[in-house]
Structure 1
Amino acid sequence: MIQIGEFNTLEILRDTEPGLFLGDADNNEVLLPNRYVPKHFEIGDDIEVFIYLDNEERMIATTDEPYIVKGEFAMLRCNAVSKIGAFLDFGLVKELFCPFKEQAFPMKKGGWYLVHCYLDEVTERLVASSKTNRFLDNKELTVDQFDQVDLIVSHPSDLGMNVIVNNKHIGLIYKDNIFQDISVGDRLKGIVKKVRPGNKLDISLGDIGYRNIEPNADKIMQELTDGNGFLALTDKSNPEAIKDQLQMSKKTFKKAIGTLYKQKLIDLKPDGIYLKTQD
């Protein structure tokens, strides 16, 4: 079956005036218009295409790659707002419709919004929603403590920043665990720091405990190398200065330099850290 809103690998059936007709194993067909037809092809070849409905509600194929597909989240720009909703640029000739009822707050032309793309079961059209939380579920978690996860920054809260975890769950990065500038829509790697009662997920942008010493120690070594063997930070430095220069907490910084000192790679002096000359 040809799936709307997804990439499909289909067979080239025949070459016609409007374009190539493609088909699946169930004898379903769809048109690939001439503007998307590759320069070199043969009847019987397989081709990967994205399927959606055109402005006349006909199923159509394209070799263009959209910014978002069914079931995913992405930041999209609003191109226009009409009496029925907003129209978002998702990389294709046709825009992605977001009805007013699916807007967390009113969209404006030129604005960028984090949305989820889904298939309207009645119209079979792809639709966007900025009410992203309703497409996330923490009832049955697919992650455990200390798992590395993919994150999309969702929206700020009084406690920190809410994030979408592995495209399935909602998590929270607390303010005191944020040591870099992050914005809504950013895609990051993180760690499940803790699973709280009610399957609430605490997320860290770094690794947990002693698991993160090595990468942070490597970062300090790189800073020392770039700084000709000197880094003007100590264990008495202001936490903000450490955060600004290294994007890590003071606690993490102290653990990392402790590891390097024990390995006899650095000297700790009142004015900063010195890279030891290796014999």
Structure 2
Amino acid sequence: MIQLGVFHKLPILRERSVGLYLGDINKEEDQILLPSKYVPEDFTIGDELEVFCYLDHEERPIATTLKPFITLNEFALLKVLEVNKYGAFLEWGLEKNLFVPFREQARKMVEGKWYLVYLYLDETTNRLVASSKTNNFISNEELTVEKFDEVDIIVSRYTDLGVEVIINNKHKGLVYNNEIFEDLSLGEKRKGVIKKIREDNKIDVSLQQIGFKNIEPSSAKVLEFLERNNGFLGLHDKSSPEDIEAILGMSKKSFKKSIGHLYKEKVIVIEENGIKLVK
């Protein structure tokens, strides 16, 4: 069967009055209709078309050239168009609205409001369904990211400590309030950097594009020392070259260059008696 909820590149098999049939010529279960209204003006049998596949109003698999706002196993911020006795229906860029059963609503949805939802395939009904219970679809038990990785994040919730984000559609992270220097909107997608992974697998995320993986060795060394020593290093630009060499194993010139870089990227603050990691 053709996977629902994702884009496919499928060859045109034949033309009929209702549209084009796409898919595998040898497997009827892997064929799908592209209705006439989506058929391009110029085409040749055998051409490949990129289409999105889902169920139409009569619960039949169908292809479309329209681009939905969300695809299978992803998160997106969507608007509620209607609420009835069955649940809520979201606008997602296709003719048939996206269904959210009451059991999948973190709180009762209201017409006209926007919600961050996850799109999944209900294996019992073979229908695409959305859920605003986003925590059910992410986990930090088995992490697939490491410190300093650049990741894709989605703003998911505001807390007293900061802004919770979804990392790579898989994990939960937090950007602390004192590291946010711009407005962040619910559902906003952007890049982030894994700043710290704690013992309980909680993840701190930075919005600053420091490029930790490519950071110069001396800056990385200072950063690692700070992480291991409760965020403080008792050295500064007036420290003797001997002290710097003894503690960090680098020259004073390299040390000054490294802390200048980290300060510019807002990773550290420089105090009278040393440098401190921004938390």
TM-score bracket for this pair, using the shorter chain length: 0.7 to 0.9
1:254 CA drift (Å): 9.7
Query: 1:153-192 maps to which residues of 2 (within 5 A)?
Result: 153-192=155-194
Task: Select which of 81, 86, 96 maps to 1:94.
Answer: 96
2:253 corresponds in structure 1 to: none
| TM-score for the superposition, normalised by structure 1 | 0.74
- Look up the match of 2:11: 11
Instruction: Determine the C-alpha separation between the residues in 2 that align with 1:211 and 1:23.
Output: 43
> Do structure 1's residue 138 and structure 2's residue 146 form an aligned pair?
no
User: Counterpart in 2 of 1:21?
Assistant: 21
- Which of 149, 152, 167 aligns to 1:150? It is 152
For the residues of structure 1 that align with 2:62 and 2:52, how far apart are their CA atoms? Answer: 8
Once the two structures are superposed, the pairs formed by residues 65-144 of structure 1 within 5 Å of their partners are 65-144=67-146
Verify the 8 A CA contact 2:14 2:22 in the aligned structure 1. yes
Q: Is the 8 A contact 2:208 2:265 kept in 1?
A: no
Matched, 1:255 2:263: yes
Displacement of 1:26 in angstroms is 5.3
Distance 2:23 2:211 in 1: 53
CA distance in 2, matches of 1:121, 1:98: 15
Task: Report the identity percentage.
Answer: 56
Rounded Cα–Cα distance in structure 2 between residues aligned with 1:95 and 1:67 = 11
Query: Could you say what the CA RMSD is over the residues aligned between the two structures, in angstroms?
Result: 2.5
Structure 1 residues 153 and 257, CA gap change in structure 2 (3 angstroms): closer
* Distance verdict in 2 for CA 1:198–1:32, change over 3 Å: same
Q: Is the 8 A contact 2:32 2:63 kept in 1?
A: yes
Deviation, structure 1 residue 255: 2.8
Q: Deviations over 1:189-248 (max 9, x none)?
A: 11111000121100111145999999xxxxxxxxxxxxxxxxxxxxxxxxxxxxxxxxxx
Select 2:207's aligned residue among 205, 225, 232.
205
- Structure 1 distance, partners of 2:212, 2:63, is 50
Deviation of 1:145 (Å): 0.8
Moved over 4 A (4+): 207-214, 251-254
Shift in Å, 1:24: 2.4
Equivalent pair of 1:213/1:252 in contact (CA under 8 Å): no
Q: Over residues 61-108 of structure 1, what are the superposed CA-to-partner deviations in whole Å (9 max), with x where a residue is unaligned?
A: 001110001111101110000011000000000000001111111111
**Matched pairs, number:** 222
Kindly indicate whether the alpha-carbon contact (under 8 Å) linking 2:79 and 2:112 is maintained by their aligned counterparts in 1: yes
- Supply the distance in 2 between the matched residues of 1:107 and 1:212 (Cα, whole angstroms): 44
Listed as ranges, the gaps of 5+ residues in structure 2 are 217-258, 267-279
Question: How far apart, CA to CA, are the structure 1 residues paired with 2:147 and 2:262?
Answer: 24
State the AA in 1 paired with 2:188: D
Partner of 2:246: none
Distance (Å, rounded) in 2 between the aligned partners of 1:138 and 1:152? 16
1:221-260 to 2 correspondences below 5 Å: 255-256=263-264
Change (3 A) 1:38 1:211: closer
| Partners of 2:125 and 2:180 in 1: CA distance | 42
Given candidates 36, 39, 42, the residue that maps to 1:37 is 39
Give the counterpart letter for 1:14 in structure 2. R
TM-score (norm 2): 0.74
Alpha-carbon distance change, 254 to 127 in structure 1, aligned in 2, over 3 angstroms:
closer
Q: Using the alignment, how far apart are the partners of 1:53 and 1:213 within structure 2?
A: 48
Letter in 2 for 1:113: Y
Given that 2:148 and 2:212 are in contact with CA atoms closer than 8 Å, whether structure 1 keeps it comes out as no
CA deviation after TM superposition for structure 1 residue 163, in Å: 0.1
Q: CA deviation at 1:167?
A: 1.1
Residue 250 of structure 2: aligned partner = none
